[in-house]
Amino acid sequence: GDIMYLLMGDIYPEYNEKRIGISNQLVIKAISKATGIETKKIIHEWRVIGDLGRVAEKFTLHKKQATLQSHVLTTEKVLENLRKLPELEGKGTVNKKMGLITELLTSAEPIEAKYLIRTLIGDLRIGIQESTIRESMSGAFFDRDKQASKKIQEAIDKSNDVGIVFEIARKGKLKELEKISLEVGKPIKAMLAQKVVTIKEGFKALGKPCAVEYKYDGFRLLIHKNSDKISLFTRSLENVTNQFPEVVGYVQKYVKGNSFILDSEAVGFDKKTKEYKSFQKISQRIRRKYNIEKLQKELPVEINVFDILYYNGKSQLDEAFEKRTKILRKIITKTPYKLIPSKQIITSSEAKAQEFYKKALEDNQEGVMLKNLKAEYKPGRRVGHMLKINYIKYF
């Protein structure tokens, strides 16, 4: 299963926050040490080729010193060394990292050196996507059965872990894949919308009636609660719980339920005028890891909850949106400028939807979302049953 991570250019499942975090400079030094070629020459070659992986491949081929400690590289050894890299801290870290990388490079064949270096710098360049892996599993273990592809995708969506899915799929048991479920506290990818230009076009695609909601100019926040533990994740699966202590408080206070996963948008506002601010004005709240108290006073956020993926022990992914939106509106105590359900109307009227869209723009938001009432929640997918209409300036 671990090989799946390497195929995706990683060493852990996607939800894992540990990153290799190696600079190009360190990689250049390691190539130099392993091949005996001076760094100046490596940098020159890199400028010409534009790919450190291919540079490593070239110089491994011309290795000046035939090293005595050459072994056959195994994926176990590669992962063992690479997984030590994020753990290293403190004095002498750079030299230890260098040692781990050089050990692999001196044992590597030229083509192995190429992909090893690309893995280290996070740029594998082989065009393998999740869909490639899904179809490969379906072909290898289920004779390309359409149903199997669907089940494999659902299992990947729920677990965010191609390694685990591979281990189950290789046994050829579809029923086992169905047992993979959402885990509260483990980040999940957000569902994404497709674009349309007009309300009319949106209604045509989704049918009537449909839900029309504000499209907020903030940042996506997936909120997990498991009894007393609350975690907040961004769209890119980064844990930002520590940056938003007040949001943790809002969730405890204004959302009923023992365990849940909510999909929301955090929107900044001016604390004096209560006017909504653009994402750019509050983006530093995600990035800053210090002065949290000062920042939360200067750049307050309101949490606008628009979907629920899991509630009190039960996944809601397969439930219709109209049911999910009812649940979330029932469990939230609407508290403006802290935590509220997203602004929403359910309508068949283009005129009403247009009016609502104008109101969203007046409130400094980006536009509106149109949602099919019968649709499921598809993590990580850009779906045709949720459409966004952004404000377009016509010059």
Alpha-carbon distance of 250 to 333, in angstroms, equals: 10
Alpha-carbon distance of 228 to 382, in angstroms, equals: 32
Which residue among 186, 215, 277, 371 is the active-site one?
Answer: 215
- Reported as a single tens digit per residue, the pLDDT across 130-143 is 889 999 999 999 98
Alpha-carbon distance of 104 to 100, in angstroms, equals: 7
Measure the CA dihedral 63/66/68/73, to 10°. Answer: 40
Please, which pLDDT band fits residue 381 given cuts at 50, 70 and 90?
A: confident
Half-sphere exposure at residue 141, Cβ-oriented, CA atoms within 13 angstroms: 22
- Reported as a single tens digit per residue, the pLDDT across 31-52 is 999 998 999 999 999 999 999 9
* Whether the predicted pLDDT of 369 surpasses 80: yes
Alpha-carbon distance of 90 to 378, in angstroms, equals: 42
2-120 folds as DNA ligase i, domain 1 (1.10.3260)
Q: How many CB atoms lie within 10 A of CB 30?
A: 26
Instruction: Tell me whether residue 338 is one of the annotated catalytic residues.
Output: no
Letter for the amino acid at 312? Answer: N
Would you list the domain boundaries of the chain?
2-120, 130-178, 192-390
Alpha-carbon distance of 7 to 3, in angstroms, equals: 6
Backbone angles phi, psi at 122, to 5 degrees: 70, 35
| pLDDT average, residue stretch 185-204 | 93
Alpha-carbon distance of 122 to 32, in angstroms, equals: 20
Long-range Cβ contact pairs of 151-157 (< 8 A, separation 24 or more) = 151/177, 151/178, 152/177, 154/178, 154/180, 155/180, 156/130, 157/188, 157/189, 157/317, 157/378, 157/379, 157/380, 157/381
The sheet carrying 382-390 orders its strands as: 192-195, 382-390, 367-371, 210-215, 344-347
Alpha-carbon distance of 355 to 46, in angstroms, equals: 56
Please, which pLDDT band fits residue 378 given cuts at 50, 70 and 90?
A: very high
- Reported as a single tens digit per residue, the pLDDT across 302-359 is 999 999 999 999 999 999 999 999 999 999 999 999 999 999 999 999 999 999 999 9
| Residue 25 burial (10 A CB sphere; 0-12, 13-18, 19+) | exposed
Pick one of 2.40.30.160, 3.40.190.10, 1.10.8.50, 3.30.470.30 as the CATH number of 192-390.
Answer: 3.30.470.30
Who contacts 74 (Cβ-Cβ below 8 Å, separation ≥6)?
A: none
pLDDT score at 200: 93
pLDDT score at 148: 92
pLDDT score at 280: 87
Is the pTM higher than 0.75?
Answer: yes
| pLDDT average, residue stretch 382-394 | 80
| Residue 346 burial (10 A CB sphere; 0-12, 13-18, 19+) | middle
Comparing 69 with 233, which gets the higher pLDDT? Answer: 233
pLDDT score at 69: 53
Tell me if the bond preceding 110 is cis, omega within 30° of 0.
no
Taking Cα atoms as reference points, which of 193, 151, 186, 185 lies closest to residue 307?
193
Q: Where are the alpha helices (DSSP H) in the chain?
A: 2-7, 24-35, 39-49, 52-61, 75-84, 93-107, 110-120, 130-142, 146-159, 162-169, 174-178, 199-206, 245-254, 279-282, 284-287, 292-298, 321-331, 350-362
